[in-house]
Structure formats: C-alpha cells, structure tokens
Chains A and B, each alone.
Chain A
Amino acid sequence: MHERVEVMRDLLDKQLVDADDTKMGRVDGIVLEIDGDKQPRIDHLELGFIVLARRLGPRVEKWFEAIRKRWSVRKSARQIVPWSKVLDVTAHEIKIDVKAMDTPAFDWERWMRDRVIDKIPGSGDDD
C-alpha cells in the first residue's frame, strides 16, 4: 500500500474485490473517525444502494429506504468493511480480506442460486 493516498481519486467509487479476486461491489462511501482534536482516521468503507442514494440527497435516501423495506431480500442494506480488512489498494481495485459469497453484496447471488437457478436446467455447468 502506498504512503500517500488521494481519498476521492484512489478510494471512492473504486472496485472492491475479495481475497479470490471476485468482484464484490464498489466503494460507495468512506467514513472518517474524528476523536476530539486528534487527527482524523479512515475507519471503514461502506457499500450499498442506500449509501449511493444518500449521495444524491436526503430526500432520495428516504424514498429509497421506503422502497427497500418493501422489496429487498437483504438482511441489511448497508455493508460495512472495516479498514483493517483492506489487504491492498492498487490502481484498479481495493482487495479486502473477505469471501464475497459470505457478504450481503452477494445476497442476490445466493438467493438466485437457491431459489431460481438450481431449478432451471442447464445452469449448473459452463460451456
């Protein structure tokens, strides 16, 4: 990891990959911890549509939250990645120490796999 990082350019909206290089979303939000007068520290990354919605304005966030409550299969809309889980920051992606399949980001993949795909013929193998 580099000594110096430009947070907006190098971290925000960056592609996240897991330990196996599986893509698992983008950095939708970054949270700084400011402890009193101490130097602010990058605490964690955030993923999720709700985080994106908030970037567009508080009204969009409320509207989105209402929709999410009605339709989502997810347990939580926002995924938090503590900075301690970050393995590497490269020019193209941020690698984190998780397994994509276990994360909320892959809720839909799991749902599709369990409810839909396993029931459709021809989905188990690749050409």
Chain B
Amino acid sequence: MKKALTLALGILTSVGGFFDVGNIATCTQAGARFRFQLIWSMVLATILAIFLIEMSGRFAAVTKKALPDTIREHFGFTFWLVPFIVLTLIHILVLAAEIGGICFALHLVTGLPLQAFALPVAVLVWLFLWRATFSTIENSTSALGLITLCFVVATIWHHPPVHDVLRGALPSLPQDHASNYWFIAVSIIGAVIAPFMFYFYSSGAVEDEWDPSYIPVNRAVSVIGMGFGSIISIAAIIVAGIVLAPRGIQVDDYHQAALMLTSAFPYWGYVLFAVSMGIACLGAACEVALSMSYTFAQTFGWNWGENLNPAEDARFSLVYTASLLLGAMFTLVGIDPLKLTLITMALSAAALPFVAIPMLLLMNDRHLLRDAANGFISNLAAAVIVVITIVLAIVSIPLAFIGGS
C-alpha cells in the first residue's frame, strides 16, 4: 500500500516540478507563436527528465542518502562550492518566479494588484511548510494538482488535428523567427529539467524511507509521474496553438495566456486557468523552498527533515523562511512575473551541467551503488544528457539576448 502511495511523490514532483510557472510560460508561448511545432522539445525534455528522476530515486533508495548530501561528502567541499552557489541563486530566482505565478493567479481571480499578494503568499507557503509533514505536503498538492487536467480536457474538446500534433512531436526547423523558436525550445528544456526537482525527489525519497525494494516502483513513478506532467504540458501547447495562435496573441503577458481556456470553458475559463496556475505554482514553491533547505542542510551536515519538530532543525527551517521572503521581494517590487520566469528558465538551462555531471559521476560509483549502479542504457542516456546540458549551457544565455522578447 505504501508503495502505491509513493505514486503520490511522483505526481507531486510532476505537478510541482514539472508543470509549474516555467512550463506554463514556455508552453503557452510555444503554442501561441509556433502552434504545434515545439512539441518535440517537450517530448525530448520529458525523456531526459524520466532518466534523471529515475536515477535520483534509485540513488536515494540504495544509499539512503539524498544527492546534495553525497556530492559534498564524495567530492569534497571545494569541488561542490561553485555548483552550490550557482544552484542556490537559481533556486531563489525560480522560487521568486513561482511566487509570482501564485500572485498572478490570485490577481486574476480577485482583480487586486499582483504586489499586494507577494507577502501574504510567502506567509501562506511558509505556514504550510512550517506545520505540515512531508506526506501531507506530498498528498495535498498532488490531489489539488489534478485540476490541471483541465488542460487535457480542453485539448480533447478542441479536437486538434492529430496529424499536425504528431508532426510537431518530431523535430523541425522554424520557417521564421528562428532565434525566438530556439530560445523557447531551450527554455522548455530548462523549465522541465529543473535542478530543484532532483534534489527534492531524492530528499523526499529519504524522507519517505525508501530502500532498494523501491527500485521498481521508482521506475514506474518516474515514467508515470513525468509522463503525467508532460501530457498536461503538451495539452497546454496544443490549446495555446489552437486558441491563441490564430488570433495572433503572442503571450507577452500572463493575461494573454489566461485566455486559452475560455473557448473550451466559456464561463469558467479564466478561473480554471487561475486555479491551475495557482496550485501548480504553490506545489512548485513548496518544492523549491524545501529543495533549498535540503541542499543547505545536507551540504553543512545540519539536522534536516520536514517531519522533524522545528526546534530540532532550526537552521533547516531558517533556510526556507529566508528564501521565501527573498523570493517574495521580486514580486513585491513589481518585477514582471513572465519576464522573470523566462530569464530564470534560460539561466536554469545554463546551470544544468552543474547538476547533471556530479549526479552522473555518482551513478557510476560501484562502491556506493553496487549492483544498482548505472547499466549501459542508463549510461548512454547519461552521456546524451551531459552533451545536451553542455550545449544548452553554451547557447541559452546568448539566445536569451537574441531570441528572447
């Protein structure tokens, strides 16, 4: 039964880590500007994510340790320092973007200005993390996250031309606006393969007390969890392609994205979009904040865990508290949430080698993993991932300048 419930961890990681503000921003832009042409980018990102999540889970199940924990211990502090600093900065930016997403959802529903919600949202997330145990957070955000299925419902309602959709699943070259095309393609991958996902997932597996018997379940969770998030994201691309593209709506603003569900759901369209976005971003904000706490606590060897009494792991709690406050500042001072999201996704893509390379080195260590170490297929995927992440790292920032808008 417990193993069946671990599906919840997979779905949470998917809803929170996969379909979050980054995906909403990149997928709606992709659909609005290029119709179904960029679906291949999402498919590629999903395949890579499945391999990486599977490795994170397998690692935690066998070593009973999370990734950041082992990276410092295994490679030493000096090696870990630069990745640690880079990933911390990215964490803060992503958290700021997610908080911006929740604020926007609230703004859409109430009409009140975004900035008004910045601090209340930070407090809300903080309260959730302070009071709840890991399983409560897991289960509630997964259950609520199912609302995002409305995108899938909308897709079915629109009866998209299947042939065109399938053609989009194969890579193609853009007819025009090439730099913007590639920028969005790269941002989709950066949005999907977010560093915090792997640290959160492996730490969560330790919180849930996984052992080697969870390896098969972990494989199922990786595929189903990431697949679930992927289907919703592809649905978002399709709906944006059908509703927004013909009208020439470019999605320069989240308000434009919010229009996309109004054809399928004439009365509830805005509300559904807002609720989906709000809940997805809430799940993500929890994940990112916790991922920061996990990373700090494990790097410095502090006591850590959502299930601990806050007085026992004060420093762990301090990290997510401080990061939530810092994240809220961005929205509070009026930084445009969509622009923040897109820049963050590009930077996140650039930082991927820092996450992927140490992880892949560890996955081959037979002292640590014994028979569960990477086999040929996983290593092949790993090699491809490293190459792609390095390419992404090189092109993402230049593309942000040339192709971003």
Contact = CB atoms under 8 A, between A and B. Distances in A.
A51 to B, nearest CB: 10
Contacts of B313: 109
B300 interface: yes
Interface stretch (A18-26, A32-40, A62-70): A18-26
Nearest to B306: A127
Given A14-B73, A23-B301, A126-B308, 12 more contacts: A13-B72, A24-B301, A92-B64, A100-B303, A109-B312, A109-B314, A112-B315, A113-B314, A117-B310, A122-B130, A125-B309, A126-B309
Contacts of A46: none
How would you classify the secondary structure of chain A's contact residues: helix, strand, loop or mixed?
mixed
7 contacts: A16-B301, A23-B302, A56-B78, A109-B313, A112-B318, A117-B311, A124-B311
B76 interface: yes
A97 to B, nearest CB: 17
A12 interface: yes
B65 interface: yes
Nearest to A126: B309
A53 to B, nearest CB: 10
A44 to B, nearest CB: 17
A78 to B, nearest CB: 14
Interface of A: 8, 12-16, 22-26, 28, 52, 55-56, 92, 100, 108-109, 111-113, 116-117, 120, 122-127
Contacts of A109: 303, 311-315
Given A109-B312, A109-B313, A55 B77 contact: yes
B72 A25 contact: no
A-B pairs, 8 with minimum CB distance: A112-B314, A26-B301, A25-B301, A109-B314, A113-B311, A23-B303, A127-B133, A123-B310
Nearest to B367: A91
A123 B126 CA distance: 13
Interface in B65-80: 65, 69, 72-73, 76-78
B65 A55 contact: no
Interface string B109-132: 000000000000000000000111
Nearest to B80: A13
B256 interface: no
B172 interface: no
B213 interface: no
B270 interface: no
Given A127-B132, A127-B133, A108 B307 contact: no
Nearest to B308: A126
Contacts of B131: 122, 127
A10 B317 CA distance: 29
B304 interface: yes
B302 A25 contact: yes
Nearest to A111: B314
A92 B64 CA distance: 10
Nearest to B305: A23
B178 interface: no
B81 interface: yes
Contacts of B132: 127
Contacts of B77: 13, 28, 52, 55
A127 B136 contact: yes
Nearest to B75: A13
Contact of B72 (A26, A56, A116): A26
A81 B131 CA distance: 35
Contacts of B69: 15
Interface in B94-115: none
A72 to B, nearest CB: 13
A113 to B, nearest CB: 4
B308 to A, nearest CB: 8
Contacts of B312: 22, 109
A112 B301 CA distance: 18
B137 to A, nearest CB: 10
Contacts of B72: 13, 26
